[in-house]
Chains A and B, each alone.
Chain A
């Protein structure tokens, strides 16, 4: 029979084991050195101000598909898609014979504070698309947008439909005002004009907001769980790569950020067909290319309800939604999804080649 003293002894034993594990974790971490990220070979083929357009070196025979341009979000760094050799969404696409380009927005600074959202979409992104089209002497390419980059890609596809042969959106918010969207609820009462009046919005501020979405898990439990790794070097290196990515957050250019929050989060203009970009009315009905919309069922940043409505608002007759059992980040680096998601993208593209 279990007595109180047995339970206490058991607890003390566990506590001692945890202490031992903590020591092993610390010892391994102290000897780890620099963490490498984004290891796939690539070269910069176009640059302008802070932005860089990279082309990845092929890893397999060409699959004969149109080149793919990845438009990542501005709020985080794009190397999440190529975190490490065995956790790389991009590497999987390269192994499948795809020609991959990546638009890196860089780290905006004070010189970029007056750049509007339209200058990012109809300026930098447009010039990158035009560069790829010219390089391959083609009329259209495949555009893949991630998170906020997905929203930007949607805007682009609506403004320049003839340049987009296929559109893939991943964890992309379309309806910014669904009940599950906590970020959106918090954004409604923020005076974003005042917030950006004294310059760019710091990456630290955004991280604070993200951490506040699940503060106990993201600021406490995550680090306590390190103890379970028992000093396993590989696991700890994986953890540190992710930790680096999470807190490597660029500042947001004031004007573009203000417009993004106001037009999309607060006024939900995209889905209401009330958005004007670069002086042109932007209508989702103009998106006529085949669309693959990938969303994550456990996404706490972009809940599925924010992505799912896309199909009902675009003009495309070829629309496919793909729900993945993962979180916002796990979609790219999770145990199974890091293989299954790129495979699904390739299968979808091949079917339409």
Chain B
């Protein structure tokens, strides 16, 4: 039997984690902006994942988490699946942070290159702020164009995209669990229905096509 929404301790913890995550992203961005704090302590979850740690701990297995006490040990117990998902999310977040820092550094290099080109191009004082601005945009786009066409840029961008996609998949698993707990239609259920509708539509179309012939 499922408890009403809000009354279920599981859903309350999940929703709190969901809401807290939004605020925590701002802190993450602030940290990313500060290159000196780019390397987080390995035992410390990134700010936007801290709420999920609380959520997993709240399941009652937080104090018994062998993988936390012995890094690399498999997750055990009732909350095993959540621990695994949370661990993957933390790891993906660490990877994202690392690659994003590289991305930010690459962009900083682009800006530096643009300034160098700008210095060479503008010998005379500009006639207007608009002229100065347009010259800057030209230089910035030229420098960016050079970087953006490189293989390293493409790989960095793809890594960020792939890591984000993997995080979305993991978050989906948690949402799926929550939907089941609350007796709500889950994504998997809706997908299954869509497949059935498609199969039925295709089956219905065949006799119609035969009749037309």
B177 within 8 A of A: no
The contact string, 1 if C-beta is below 8 Å from chain B, for chain A 204-220, is 00000000111111001
A186 within 8 A of B: yes
CB proximity to A under 8 Å, residues B152-189: 154-155, 157-159, 161-162, 165-166, 168-169, 172, 187
Assembled-state Cα–Cα distance A11/B133 (Å): 12
Inter-chain contacts of B123 with A (CB < 8 A)? none
| A182:B158 contact, CB within 8 angstroms | no
| B165:A11 contact, CB within 8 angstroms | no
B211 within 8 A of A: no
Cβ-closest chain B residue relative to A179: B149
CB proximity to B under 8 Å, residues A182-205: 182, 185-186, 188-191, 194-195, 197-199
One of A111, A185, A190, A216 near B161 (C-beta < 8 A) = A190
Assembled-state Cα–Cα distance A98/B118 (Å): 51
Cβ-closest chain A residue relative to B164: A195
Instruction: Determine, out of B4-12, B21-29, B137-145, the stretch whose residues face the partner at the interface.
Output: B137-145
| B165:A186 contact, CB within 8 angstroms | no
Cβ-closest chain A residue relative to B139: A216
Given known A-B contacts A110-B190, A215-B144, A224 and B133 have beta carbons under 8 A apart: yes
Cβ-closest chain B residue relative to A110: B190
Assembled-state Cα–Cα distance A102/B114 (Å): 44
What size tier do the contact residues of chain A reach?
35 or more
The contact string, 1 if C-beta is below 8 Å from chain B, for chain A 281-313, is 000000000000000000000000000000000
| B194:A18 contact, CB within 8 angstroms | no
Inter-chain contacts of B157 with A (CB < 8 A)? 186, 189, 212
Assembled-state Cα–Cα distance A212/B187 (Å): 31
CB proximity to A under 8 Å, residues B83-136: 125-130, 133-134
Assembled-state Cα–Cα distance A198/B172 (Å): 7
Assembled-state Cα–Cα distance A228/B190 (Å): 51
| B128:A10 contact, CB within 8 angstroms | yes
A114 to chain B, nearest CB (A): 6
Binding site for A on B (CB under 8 A): 125-130, 133-134, 137, 140-141, 144, 148-149, 151, 154-155, 157-159, 161-162, 165-166, 168-169, 172, 187, 190-191, 194-195, 197-198
Binding site for B on A (CB under 8 A): 4, 7, 10-11, 14-15, 18, 110-111, 113-115, 182, 185-186, 188-191, 194-195, 197-199, 212-217, 220-221, 224, 227-228
Q: Which 5 pairs, one residue from A and one from B, show the smallest C-beta to C-beta distance?
A: A189-B158, A14-B128, A194-B165, A216-B140, A221-B137
Q: Can you give 27 contacting A-B residue pairs, CB < 8 Å?
A: A10-B127, A11-B128, A14-B129, A14-B130, A15-B129, A18-B129, A18-B130, A111-B194, A111-B197, A113-B194, A114-B191, A114-B198, A115-B198, A182-B148, A185-B149, A185-B151, A186-B154, A190-B161, A194-B169, A195-B162, A195-B165, A197-B169, A198-B165, A216-B137, A217-B141, A224-B130, A228-B130
